[in-house]
Structure formats: structure tokens, C-alpha cells
Amino acid sequence: IRPRTWHVIKLTEQIKDEPINTFIRLLPSRIVEALKNSQSAVNGNKRPQVQTIKLGDLIFISIQMVSNLKQGGVLYVASPPGQAVALVSTLHSNLLRACVQGLGYKKFEDACLNGKDIPSLLRIFDNGNNTATVTDMPEFVATPCIARGGIDFTNSQATKNYLSQMFGPAPPILDTLTVKSETDFFDSAILNKRMKVILQIKSENTFSTLQKWAEIAAISPTSELFQVFHTIKSNQIQISNDEDDE
């Protein structure tokens, strides 16, 4: 599968529930039928082309409208059969709604979660697969520990242990985090307006970047930034001005 950015959508209002083998067999024809019934997707002499393949626990779908003269853009979709979630290559395709109907649902919602690693995205989206749940989170205890050359008072090892307990040996992988905040200007006599601040963190593995920051005490290991991976479940964090910045 070619590397690409996947966007997570939550599927809602299930139309029917059926055995997975039946679902996989009928999926292409259902998408084609939904496309033919969609006036926004089908124009002129265009005809739908739908291809599906099952790899492991996921079914991958490609959808495209073609004619004798040209080909439309391709929508790629990945979905674990039997679960109300899908990953799509774009949220702005007029083929998407028909695909959702083919998957057996009436509507979908943008989960505001995207990335290139499919297992990580599904793990973040589904709390049941996470190492720690909201009701089973370890407490961070900053205590000195013995290290090579003496005693470590930096809490670096305590931070590593805490994050390991929270996320296990293989934390989810995201390549982008966006933090948004809005606050009053520090001196209203100079400027009586609110300021919008946006911080975007880009890395091959943003969790590793955050962990390194925590180990040097640039951020707290309990920072809201880490909540992206288990409670917020989104690349986008909104911090209000009445919250303490960790």
C-alpha cells in the first residue's frame, strides 16, 4: 500500500448488520449502486470503477469515475469490516458519501484525526485497544533514581517509566500535532483584542519528540499534548486561556 495521509471518519446510522463475508462480497456492487443513485457523483457518460482487496484485518477500496475521454480523482478508503470507522484519502470527494452508504451507513463524521500509520490511527480512535484507559491511568511520581555516575534528580527515568506505563513499548505514531489557543493581549491598554495562537508540531514520530521534551523537562509528562494519544483522540488540541500550560 502506497504511503499516504489517512483521515479518520466515524460511521453513523448503520443501515444493516450482516456477516463479514457477505459484506465483503457485496461491497463493490453496493458502492457502484450508491454512486449511480448520486447525481453529484455521476455526470454525463462517466461510469464508476470500484476495486477492493482485503489485507489482514482491513479492506482497502479505490473508487474512481471514468469516461472515454478522462478519468476523475481516486478516493482511497480503508476500513476494518464490522467496525464503525473508516480511513479515507480525502474528506473533500463527492464519492465519499456513496462509499459510506456502500459500507452500510447513512452518515459519517470527521474525527479530526489523520496520519500515515493506519494501526496507530485505529488504536488512537478505539480506546479499547489503548494500553491505558481513562479510568486506568498511572500516577506520575517524580522521584530521584540511581543512574550511571550517581543519582538522577532530573526525573528523566521516572518520565520514561510513566510514559511506558501509559502507552506501552510501541506508542502510536502521528506525524502532525496542531495546538490552538486564544487569549487576551497581555496589556488591554495597548491592544484590547484577543490573540489566536497556533503551534504546529511536525515530525516522523511526534510522540518521540514529545517524550524527548518531557525527559529534559521542557514539558510535563502529564501534559495535555500526550492526551492526543488516548483521550483527545485528535491531532488538534484546543487550549483555553484559563487552563495552565503544562
Average pLDDT, the chain: 86
DSSP 138: P
- Nearest Cα to Cα of residue 53 among 83, 78, 33: 78
Runs of H (alpha helix) within the chain: 20-36, 96-102, 118-125, 156-167, 206-215
Residue 132, pLDDT score: 45
Q: In order of start, what are the domains of the chain with their CATH numbers?
A: 6-116 (3.30.160), 123-240 (no CATH)
Q: Residue 169 above 70 pLDDT?
A: yes
**Which of left, alpha, beta for 59 (phi over 0: left; psi -120 to 50: alpha)?**
beta
Question: What is the tens place of the pLDDT at every residue in 43-53?
Answer: 667 888 999 99
Question: What is the tens place of the pLDDT at every residue in 119-165?
Answer: 999 999 985 544 444 456 678 877 777 777 778 778 888 888 889 88
Residue 1, pLDDT score: 61
